[in-house]
């Protein structure tokens, strides 16, 4: 028996050494790949510092040996003296099956060690600039995420355990899930049969009071005995559907706005098909915020409204206001921007997808007409958080044969939109690539040069601390661009959860600091943390800018009669 145990240990040691060597070999091959990614203009990528690389390889080898000895000791009933833990929030290996077997216990920890080795290797490979360095990090993360043992049937003990428990039914279910998703052309993230727009999501009462080829304008019904005389226009992003702001009554930002006594109007962008593939950035400005402001002022009989933009909706709204300012119009009394970029110096990982070669290819294919498909956009955003939004569902849907749970936010996330090619190319070229919007007079929109510094209204800027789409430090730069008094607030969490943080649930926190003359990090160091949602802070800020109280009126007017109930038909159009 002792001889048999020794043979098993020797075999285990041999497997461990082979796995360690494989990790080193793969890493060596990746060095050249990452070197090219970090130095794309060079025919021969520079070599990493030999001493740093030698030290890294020695440390990696020593840690792999320590890991093998620790797992072997655990198998023999002795305490573990070395353990590799996942990063915070990584739940891929949380199931007990990954630790019950020494093989899988070693396998997943060795993978984590290999991942750490690759990340450290990327840091010592020379790069031409910061963007190249970020590109290398991004590629390393994509590769290591894809190679995780949890993604493959042969190396995932949860797959094996579930197959045994279900007598193989989970394998059949997984194959059927895969076939269905192939037919849909995307990974299922939620049980889509549970939700219906206008029935159990996007249910705030109101009516479409105006429409054109680009958008429908919704006016929501009042929920208070009195309403403010100055209405509020909401401009959501056109890259996704607006109902992220109106999912369920208890987490609806739109409903909260109405409950504060605001007469709320909202732009519901059209999901363009081929016939609208000619639309430009100027078309979205003229037929979106500019047209909406004209209609709202006529319906409510006011000279100025308050306006709020979310993400790219905020960029569109601010651009439209700069156009109106150049025309001599001051239609907006206050401006709220939620997770919005005006200065595109640092665009986070989204910017890694936008380079000159890629842009020229897009411009030649769809720049004069055509669509940027919703599927391309959805895939790009999903791979920014691949473990949560891609591989999590690969293992759950296909390996374990599970049906995704019903989750309204993920239903919204799967309801993607196309973008007109000319609009998308202009946006990527002039804003993401050239960063021209921040420069006074550099860009011409709707036939006039624009200057965001000419906008003198009070501004409420919200950024979120963990935003991977709009880095909060970049959003903070808007304090240097806009001409009016600015209140900057930093919310907890990310791009969506940080914004859609209902006041009634009193979760998370936000940071405030009236001094926006200092730099971003200095602002945060001196900021005061407040518990709960930023919604209440914003409502207090907006109240004195909203005018007197009056009796509410039904949506529309004699000129702008209601066309159909909210949420309207545009938001129900799905991308082909």
| Tens of pLDDT, residues 452-487 | 999 999 999 999 999 999 999 999 999 999 999 999
Give catalytic residues, as residue numbers.
311
265, β-bridge pairs: 219, 233
User: In this predicted structure, what is the pLDDT of residue 309?
Assistant: 98
Q: Which of 392, 193, 346, 215 is nearest to 290 (CA)?
A: 215
CA-based Rg of the chain, rounded to a whole angstrom? 27
- CA–CA separation, 17 vs 274, rounded Å? 56
CA 415/CA 390 separation, integer angstroms: 16
Domain assignments of the chain as residue spans, ordered by start: 2-152, 206-371+418-572
Q: What is the pLDDT of residue 75?
A: 82
User: What average pLDDT score do residues 174-195 get?
Assistant: 92
Phi and psi torsions of 444, nearest 5°: -105, 125
- What are the tens digits of pLDDT across the range 495-552? 999 999 999 898 899 999 999 999 999 999 999 999 999 999 999 999 999 999 999 9
pLDDT given for residue 2 in this prediction: 41
**Helix, strand, coil: what percent of the chain each, to 5?**
50, 15, 35
CA pseudo-torsion sign 342, 344, 345, 348: positive
Which pLDDT belongs to residue 80? 83
DSSP 345-388: S--GGGGGG--HHHHHHHHHHHTTS-EE-HHHHHHHHHHTTHII
Q: What is the average pLDDT across 87-106?
A: 92
Does position 22 have pLDDT exceeding 80, yes or no?
no
Confidence of residue 224 (pLDDT cuts 50, 70, 90): very high
**CATH number assigned to the domain covering 206-371+418-572:** 3.40.50.1820
Give burial (CB, 10 Å; 0-12/13-18/19+) of 302: middle
**Residue position matching structure tokens 């055509």:** 370
pLDDT > 70 fraction of the chain, expressed in percent and rounded: 92
pLDDT, residue 46, reads 54
Q: DSSP characters for 77-126?
A: TPPPS---PPPTT--TT-STHHHHSHHHHHHHHHHHHHHHHHHHHHHHS-
Report pLDDT for 206: 98
**Secondary structure tally for the chain: helices H, strands E:** 20, 17
More confident of the two residues 498 and 125: 498
pLDDT bracket for residue 36 (50, 70, 90)? low
pLDDT band, residue 354 (cuts 50/70/90): confident
Structure confidence by residue, pLDDT tens digits, 37-48: 555 555 555 567
In Å, what is the CA distance from 367 to each residue of 150, 248, 450? 41, 38, 22
pLDDT band at 350 (very low <50, low <70, confident <90, very high): confident
pLDDT at 114: 94
pLDDT at 5 over 70: no
Residue 64 has pLDDT above 70, yes or no: yes
Confidence grade of residue 93 (pLDDT, cut at 50, 70, 90): very high
Please state, for a pLDDT cut of 90, what percent of the chain lies above it: 77
Burial 315-351, CB ≥16 within 10 A → b, else e: bbbbbbbbbbbbeeeebbbbbbbbbbbbbbebbbbbb
> Has residue 122 got a pLDDT over 70?
yes
Contact 108/93 with Cβ under 8 angstroms? Answer: yes
Decide if pLDDT at 4 tops 50: no
Is 181 within 8 Å of 170 (Cβ atoms)?
A: no
Helix (H, G, I), strand (E, B) or coil at 341: coil
The per-residue pLDDT for 3 is 45
Strand pairing class (486-491; 509-512) = antiparallel
């Amino acid at each position: 028996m002792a001889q048999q145990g020794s043979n098993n240990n020797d075999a285990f040691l041999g497997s461990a050494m082979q796995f360690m060597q494989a990790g080193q070999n793969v890493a060596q091959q990746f060095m050249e790949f990452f070197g090219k990614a970090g130095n794309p203009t060079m025919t021969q990528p520079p070599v990493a510092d030999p001493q740093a690389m030698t030290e890294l390889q020695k440390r990696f080898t020593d840690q792999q040996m320590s890991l093998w000895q620790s797992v072997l000791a655990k198998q023999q009933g002795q305490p573990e003296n070395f353990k590799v833990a996942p990063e915070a929030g990584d739940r891929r290996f949380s199931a007990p099956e990954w630790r019950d077997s020494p093989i899988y216990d070693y396998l997943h920890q060795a993978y984590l060690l290999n991942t750490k080795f690759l990340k450290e290797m990327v840091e010592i490979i020379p790069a031409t600039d910061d963007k190249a360095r970020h590109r290398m990090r991004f590629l390393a993360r994509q590769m290591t995420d894809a190679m995780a043992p949890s993604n493959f049937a042969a190396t995932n003990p949860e797959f094996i355990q579930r197959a045994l428990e279900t007598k193989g039914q989970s394998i059949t279910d997984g194959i059927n899930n895969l076939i269905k998703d192939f037919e849909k052309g995307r990974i299922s993230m939620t049980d889509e049969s549970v939700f219906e727009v206008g029935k159990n999501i996007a249910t705030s009462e109101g009516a479409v009071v105006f429409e054109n080829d680009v958008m429908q304008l919704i006016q929501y019904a009042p929920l208070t005995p009195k309403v403010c005389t100055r209405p509020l226009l909401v401009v959501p992003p056109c890259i996704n559907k607006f109902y992220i702001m109106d999912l369920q009554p208890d987490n609806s930002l739109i409903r909260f706005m109405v409950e504060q006594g605001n007469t709320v109007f909202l732009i519901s962008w059209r999901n363009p098909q081929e016939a609208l593939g000619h639309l430009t950035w100027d078309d979205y400005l003229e037929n979106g915020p500019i047209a909406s402001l004209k209609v709202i002022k006529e319906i409510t009989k006011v000279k100025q409204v308050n306006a709020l933009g979310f993400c790219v909706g905020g960029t569109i709204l601010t651009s439209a206001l700069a156009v109106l300012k150049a025309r001599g119009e001051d239609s907006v009394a206050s401006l709220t921007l939620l997770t919005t970029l005006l200065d595109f110096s640092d665009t986070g990982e989204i910017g890694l997808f936008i380079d000159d070669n890629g842009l020229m290819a897009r411009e030649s294919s769809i720049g004069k007409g055509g669509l940027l498909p919703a599927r391309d956009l959805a895939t790009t955003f999903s791979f920014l958080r691949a473990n949560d939004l891609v591989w999590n569902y690969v293992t759950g849907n296909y390996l374990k044969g599970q049906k995704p749970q019903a989750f309204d936010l993920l239903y919204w996330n799967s309801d993607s939109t196309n973008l007109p090619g000319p609009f998308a190319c202009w946006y990527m070229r002039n804003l993401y690539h050239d960063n021209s919007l921040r420069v006074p007079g550099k860009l011409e929109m709707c036939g006039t040069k624009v200057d965001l510094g000419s906008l003198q209204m009070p501004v409420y800027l919200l950024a979120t601390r963990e935003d991977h789409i709009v880095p909060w430090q970049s959003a903070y730069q808007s304090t240097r661009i806009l001409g009016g008094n600015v209140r900057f607030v930093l919310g907890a969490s990310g791009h969506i959860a940080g914004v859609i943080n209902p006041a009634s649930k009193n979760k998370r926190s936000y940071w405030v600091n009236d001094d926006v003359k200092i730099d971003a990090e200095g602002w945060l160091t001196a900021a005061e943390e407040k518990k709960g949602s930023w919604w209440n802070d914003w409502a207090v800020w907006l109240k004195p800018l909203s005018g007197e109280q009056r009796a509410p009126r039904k949506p529309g007017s004699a000129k702008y009669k209601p066309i159909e109930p909210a949420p309207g038909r545009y938001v129900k159009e799905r991308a082909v």
